[in-house]
Amino acid sequence: MSRPVSIVVAAALVAACSSGPRGGDTLVVFAASSLNDVFTALATDSESGVSADFSFAGSSTLATQIVNGAPANVFASADERQMEVVISASTNAGAPVVFATNSLVLAVERGNPRGVHALADIDEPGLLVALAAQQVPLGQYSREMLASAQVEVTPVTLEPDARSVLAKVEMGEVDVGIVYRTDAMSSDEVDFIDLDESRMLSIDYYVVALDRSDDEAQAFIDRLVGTDGQQVLLNAGFGLP
Q: Which of residues 71, 94, 96, 155 is near other proteins by CB under 8 A?
A: 155
Q: Is 64 exposed, middle or buried (0-12, 13-18, 19+ CB in 10 A)?
A: middle
Select from 27, 56, 168, 179 the one that contacts other proteins (CB under 8 A).
168
Of positions 85, 107, 108, 159, contacts other proteins by CB under 8 A? 159
What is the contact mask toward other proteins in residues 172 to 211, using x (rule: CB under 8 A)?
xx--------------------------------------
**Window contacting other proteins (CB under 8 A); options: 15-23, 24-32, 133-141, 196-204:** 133-141
User: Taking CB under 8 A as the rule, does residue 164 contact other proteins?
Assistant: yes
Shortest Cβ 172–other proteins spacing (Å): 5
- 194 in the Ramachandran plot: left (φ > 0), alpha (ψ -120 to 50) or beta? beta
Q: Residues 39-78 vs other proteins: string with x where CB under 8 A?
A: -------------------x-x---x--------------
Residue 179 Cβ, how far from other proteins at the closest point, in Å?
15
| CB 158, min distance to other proteins, A | 5
Closest approach of other proteins to the CB of residue 78, in Å: 13
CB proximity list for 178: less than 8 A, separation 6 or greater: 104, 105, 106, 107, 129, 130, 131, 132, 138, 142, 145, 165
Task: Please identify which residue in 21, 160, 239, 241 interacts with other proteins, judged by CB under 8 A.
Answer: 160
- Which one, of 112, 121, 123, 126, lies nearest residue 169 by Cα? 112
Least Cβ distance, residue 163 to other proteins (angstroms): 11
Q: What's the CA gap between 62 and 28, in Å, rounded?
A: 12
Question: What is the smallest separation between the CB atom of 83 and other proteins, expressed in angstroms?
Answer: 16
Number of residues that bind other proteins (CB under 8 A): 20
Does 142 interact with other proteins (rule: CB under 8 A)? no
Residues linked to residue 29 through DSSP beta bridges, in sequence order: 54, 74
Closest CB to other proteins among residues 109, 216: 109
Which residues of the shown chain bind other proteins in the complex (CB under 8 A)?
Answer: 1, 58, 60, 64, 128, 130, 133, 135-136, 155-160, 164, 168, 171-173
